[in-house]
Amino acid sequence: MMSIVDDAGAPRTAPPLRRAGRQRVPVALLAPAGLGLLFLILPLVGLLVRAPWSTLPQRLTEPAVLTALWLSLQCATLATVLCVVFGVPLAWLLARIEFPGRRLVRALVTVPLVLPPVVGGVALLLVFGRRGLLGEWLDATFGITLPFTTTGVVLAEAFVAMPFLIIAVEGALRGADSRYEEAAATLGAGRWVTFTHVTLPLVAPGVAAGAVLCWARALGEFGATITFAGNYPGRTQTMPLAVYLALETDLDAAIVLSLILLTVSVAILAGLRDRWITSP
């Protein structure tokens, strides 16, 4: 209780403050909130209800499923490594360096977040295709062809997933205490030593969270992959593409593949709950 003084100068006790979390919810908000929750949950419930649980172990060990799963894990991991190599320096540049056009660069970096994935695939074809801006030169000079290859899958996934890592790392850099970097500089550390021994350890949780989100986004990529890399089993057919193909021939197989992706998504959210979700 908090004591206050009335007009006569006598102390009296103030009423307890009501906690924000104890506020009553308006009845008018309960119905749309409940409907919104059902709208998000019911599709997942339908997936679980229709899953062929009796034959699930056998279907999980089918060669086509294992091949698509292994290819997806491999490509998503390589795409994440590519995003970390190029995304972390770019995030540092956006967070720490003032330069003309920085807002434009940041806007361009986040474009893949709102760009339809199919459009991203078309854009990649126009750049890295055999007649693209760079693809024609790569093919003529080095004999490198990127579209409709496993490397093309990695590039497509990196293109759509890199913004997630850049946003996470840039936010971590802006929230980090720059005094440690300044202290390292005054002690004679160069920029590279300061970056690798001070800055990166400070933002390591942000880099890890961004990399996990980047990996999850790459694992679930569909539009840019099928447009730029095609849908060839064993070479470019990742899990989302296998789900799309199975819908036309075997619904149970599509459900099993979807369950795998759902499990991965839930695991990612559970692992990041302490960073992205604040409990009351």
Q: What is the DSSP letter of 237?
A: -
Cα 78–262–226 angle (5° rounding)? 50
**What's the whole-model pTM score?**
0.81
Cα of first residue to Cα of last residue in the chain, in angstroms, is 22
Is position 2 within any domain?
Answer: no
Which tens digits make up the pLDDT trace of 137-175? 988 888 888 999 999 999 999 999 999 999 999 988 888
Is position 133 within any domain?
Answer: yes
Nearest to 76 by CA among 172, 183, 150, 181: 150
pLDDT band of residue 1 (cuts 50, 70, 90) is very low
Is position 119 within any domain?
Answer: yes
**Predicted pLDDT at 227:** 93
Number of domains in the chain: 1
Is position 32 within any domain?
Answer: no
Which tens digits make up the pLDDT trace of 79-138? 999 999 999 999 999 988 888 988 999 999 999 988 999 999 999 999 998 888 998 998
Is position 195 within any domain?
Answer: no
Is position 41 within any domain?
Answer: no
φ, ψ dihedrals at 4, nearest 5°: -130, 170
Full domain range(s) for residue 62 = 56-175+204-272
Which tens digits make up the pLDDT trace of 201-245? 888 888 998 998 899 899 989 999 999 999 888 899 999 998 888
Question: In the predicted model, what is the mean pLDDT of residues 37-55?
Answer: 87
pLDDT band of residue 277 (cuts 50, 70, 90) is very low
The domain that holds 104 is classified in CATH as: 1.10.3720.10
Is position 99 within any domain?
Answer: yes
**Predicted pLDDT at 275:** 55
Calculated CA dihedral for residues 266, 271, 272, 278, nearest 10 degrees: 90
Which tens digits make up the pLDDT trace of 243-275? 888 888 888 888 888 888 888 888 877 776 655
**Predicted pLDDT at 194:** 82
Which tens digits make up the pLDDT trace of 48-85? 888 888 888 888 888 888 898 899 999 999 999 999 99
Nearest to 109 by CA among 163, 67, 28, 66: 163
**Predicted pLDDT at 279:** 41
**Predicted pLDDT at 167:** 92
Is position 72 within any domain?
Answer: yes
Q: According to DSSP H, which parts of 97-238 are helical?
A: 102-114, 117-128, 135-142, 150-175, 179-186, 191-194, 200-202, 204-219, 223-228
**Predicted pLDDT at 123:** 93
Rg of the chain (C-alpha set): 25
Alpha-carbon 42 to chain mean position? 24
